[in-house]
Amino acid sequence: MHPNRPPADGATPAMAQWYAAKAAHPDALLFFRMGDFYELFFDDAEAAAEALSIALTYRGEHQGVPISMCGVPHHSHEAYLARLIRRGFRVAICDQMESPEEAKARKAPTIRREVVRIVTPGTVTEDALLEAARPAWLLALAKGGAAWLDVTSGAFETEDNPDIPALMARLDPSEIIAEDGLWPDAIEAVAPRDAARRIAAAFDVASLEGFGTFTEAELRAAAMAVDYVRATQNGRLPFLMRPVPRGTQGVLLMDAATRRSLEILRSERGEARSTLLAAVDRTLTGAGARELAARLAAPLASLPAIQARHAAVEALRAHHEWRGSLRGAMKGAPDMARALARISLERYAPRDLAALRDGLTRAEAMAGHCAGARPLPPLLADAADALVPPESPREELTRALAEQLPARFEDGGVIAAGYDGQLDAMRRLRDDARGAIAAMQMQLAEAWGVASLKVKHHQQMGYLAEVQAAPGEKLLRSPPSLPGELMPQHRQTMANALRFTCGALVELDRKLSQAAEQAQGRERAIVRHLAGLCAQAAQGITEAARAVAEFDVHAAAAELALANWCRPEMTGGADFHIQSGRHPVVEAALTRAKGPAFVPNDAELSAGQRLCLLTGPNMAGKSTFLRQNALMVVLAQAGLFVPAEAARLGVVDRLFSRVGASDDLAGGRSTFMVEMTETAAILNQAGPRSFVILDEVGRGTATWDGLAIAWAVLEALHDRLRCRAIFATHFHELTALAGKLPELRLATMRVREWKNEVVFLHSVGPGAAEKSWGLHVARLAGVPRTVLGRAEAVLHALESRARQGGGVLSEELPLFAPKPAAAPDHPVLAALATLDPDAMSPRDAQEALYRLKALLTP
């Protein structure tokens, strides 16, 4: 997208550097530091100007064509970076590696510049480029394996032989790298052959035996991810936790279609609003929000682990004061994990050291609140023990850092007075400048005979004596006879004043600058020492950050549970009993809009009645009822309580949701094809421990084709898959299966007619719908009366034909049509057809049998 251009003969040294850097990174926009700006040239400038809506200018020519150029301020470049990254660009940062004075001292034609990092969506660390509540996963795909890591938190996991679409839907990665085109739009990468050795070297261990058991494919993917991060960070690696082989055991499995249907983390429009996460999130920290999202994206499927989370929530719900104290300590806590990532990459600011100081302080306060609340449930007890790292740098950071910190280290004032005696002495010398300048000003005013003389500092020329125009001209014409160090030397003439220097001013400038540089150098050394302490304690700090997130998630779930949410009773059987259940997202939306109260409903899918056939009109709430029961499973197995009066749930291993209509036109799939593909996935993967919700299977094709498909799918769910399922349909003919499928029960959305109006009660009751109410819904939608009238006439005609046992529609599918009378082709059949058993006496019946037998005699 940004082709290289050969350097022109006679290109300036700076532009020669640009050509070299661009040649090394042709697929990235090049931010080229020139003074106070990052400049972009050629195609980079044109693309960035359009994406950022900034002015495009020109600088010089290349092969007779003006060179396109645009730029962004160095001090505020993060905001521009964020916009480019969200637009899908990669950005190479080419920075100045020395000052102009250093370049001049080594007689170089220009300042030395180098590419210090590549900014990509999966490797950013700046807060301005990150979402606080969303992990920034970098996903690496190798043949047969996957690995994903978050450079901002250090999390690192792998999976063998993954279901890639399901993994993608679960992680929602920020960036994907893959070998051999395993995934479209991924950045192509090559998996190293010596993967195990490279991972061991990254963690400074001899072997990976202590990390767990990994397949070769998992290690290749993990090495790809580590190599990619190292390449984008100019050879550095952030602090990473040891990789964990996750697999899918113990996790509730959901495919991409199910996640999309249930809108767990993202709505079908790709938004974060109107999702399950948005409805239930009561966390107070960024790390807690990310942990909650991770739990909703990957609920558990292990009964003991689920029960352990519920016990933690129950303990916090039961102790109001303790929960309040913990949440008070957590509120506003900084994001320690992300601050540590920037420190480990040596790309940190004073606020990052303060974040670790303040975060560890809050974690210790939380540990103090836990000391009086023991015994704690196991999960909370483990988290409480991790809140205070064994080698915490908190005390050192507290003593060292100033109370008010600058935005940048270059501004000084990071280290508190009294922490380092040497720094304090340098600062005193530097800060005596005010007195030294005042003394120099009085001395020069007296020596030069100019009472109004002022000593001022100029950025380029240092300290100067500024004199008004009239006395300044006099100094020029007839300078006083003074010692050499006090003799005025003219430097600059302005409209109303003249500026002079002298030997004494030059020496004062040198001493003050030297003192400031020495103080700045000493402060930088102390900052590096503090950052080193944090890096040494990285493991403990990370565990403390995760412990804070653990408390945050459970305390937030306890807070949520106060709104009439119950602790679900989890079992290892096929239970599914919900008493007065509610849809959490719809209820939250009604509450925000101050609308009517949500109508709760029961759901019962226990042994002996595992399959529910739900009928009723559109707009009555079928889809809401389906989804709310699927979300009960997600919430309960993620470790949260559920919006119901009571709940007893058997652990689900796979969750499937096929609700709503969608197409994939880009992939050449119609709405019905998508529906059948998703239905096929259910029929091929669901089992006895699965939970399935299906809505309107077969409605995307002809009436009888669709009915036949729905009929067969319903039988398969009952007879073969034997899973818990709710099957919503408009095919009323399916209710006939209630007498043939023993574990099928009928339910319907209740509707009431009142004064020729249809009232949707949004409640579920036993039985089947009397009719579809389609015409009523069409009228509510605004279909013209003439069309409604004609539709009603056609409906009556079709219903009349159906009652008479035939009609043209019944010819489409013999399975559902009345069977025609068989033409007798044997004397016995012909005689049998003439008999009326209900009108015959016993003697008549006996005689008829004799006659039929005689007809069979040769």
Average pLDDT of the residues of the chain: 89
382 and 531 co-located in one domain: yes
639 and 735 co-located in one domain: yes
Q: Which of 202, 225, 248 is the last residue of a domain?
A: 248
384 and 436 co-located in one domain: no
Give me the domain span that covers residue 662. 569-782
Q: Is the pLDDT of residue 817 over 50?
A: no
Nearest to 257 by CA among 558, 845, 679, 837: 679
Whole-model pTM? 0.83
647 and 674 co-located in one domain: yes
Nearest to 322 by CA among 273, 375, 360: 375
What is the pLDDT, as a whole number, of residue 453? 94
Across the range 848-856, mean pLDDT stands at 77
First-to-last C-alpha distance (Å) of the chain: 93
Residue 416 lies in a domain: no
pLDDT band at 661 (very low <50, low <70, confident <90, very high): low
Residue 305 lies in a domain: no
Count how many domains the chain has: 7
74 and 208 co-located in one domain: no
Q: Is the pLDDT of residue 662 over 90?
A: no
What is the pLDDT, as a whole number, of residue 547? 98
pLDDT band at 291 (very low <50, low <70, confident <90, very high): very high
pLDDT band at 818 (very low <50, low <70, confident <90, very high): very low
Strand partners, 93: 31, 117
The model's pLDDT over 274-283, given as tens digits with 9 standing for 90+, comes to 899 999 999 9
Phi first, then psi: give them for residue 655, nearest 5 degrees.
Answer: -120, 130
Q: Would you state the structure tokens that stand for residue 396, as one six-digit string?
A: 């050192």
Do the beta carbons of residue 653 and residue 306 sit within 8 Å? no
Residues 6+ apart with CB under 8 A from 351: 339, 405, 407
140: three-class secondary structure by DSSP = strand
Give the whole-number percent of the chain exceeding pLDDT 70. Answer: 94
Please state the three-class secondary structure of 564-629 as a single string. CCECCEEECCCCEEEEEECCHHHHHHHHHCCCCCCCCEEEECCCCCCEEEEECCCCCCHHHHHHHH
Residues 6+ apart with CB under 8 A from 155: 135, 149, 241
What is the pLDDT, as a whole number, of residue 435? 84
Strands (DSSP E) along 250-365, which ranges? 253-254
Across the range 437-453, mean pLDDT stands at 92
601 and 711 co-located in one domain: yes
Q: Which of 69, 88, 119 is the last residue of a domain?
A: 119
Widest distance between CA atoms in the chain: 159
Residue 588 lies in a domain: yes
Rounded distance between C-alpha atoms, residue 677 and residue 683, angstroms: 10
712 and 583 co-located in one domain: yes
Length of the chain in terms of residues written: 858
Q: Would you state the structure tokens that stand for residue 821, as one six-digit string?
A: 């009378």
| CATH number, domain with residue 437 | 1.10.1420.10
pLDDT band at 786 (very low <50, low <70, confident <90, very high): confident
677 and 584 co-located in one domain: yes
Across the range 795-804, mean pLDDT stands at 70
Do the beta carbons of residue 697 and residue 661 sit within 8 Å? no
What is the pLDDT, as a whole number, of residue 756? 67
Q: Which of 232, 248, 264 is the last residue of a domain?
A: 248
656: three-class secondary structure by DSSP = strand
Q: Would you state the structure tokens that stand for residue 573, as one six-digit string?
A: 């059987």
Least confident of 27-36, 511-520, 639-648: 511-520
What is the pLDDT, as a whole number, of residue 10? 57
Residue 367 lies in a domain: yes
389 and 429 co-located in one domain: no
610 and 670 co-located in one domain: yes
677 and 802 co-located in one domain: no
Nearest to 555 by CA among 646, 640, 634: 640
106 and 162 co-located in one domain: no
Residue 276 lies in a domain: no
Sign of CA dihedral 206, 336, 263, 624: positive
Residue 300 lies in a domain: no
Residue 257 lies in a domain: no
| CATH number, domain with residue 111 | 3.40.1170.10
What is the pLDDT, as a whole number, of residue 814? 40
Residue 277 lies in a domain: no
What is the pLDDT, as a whole number, of residue 706? 82
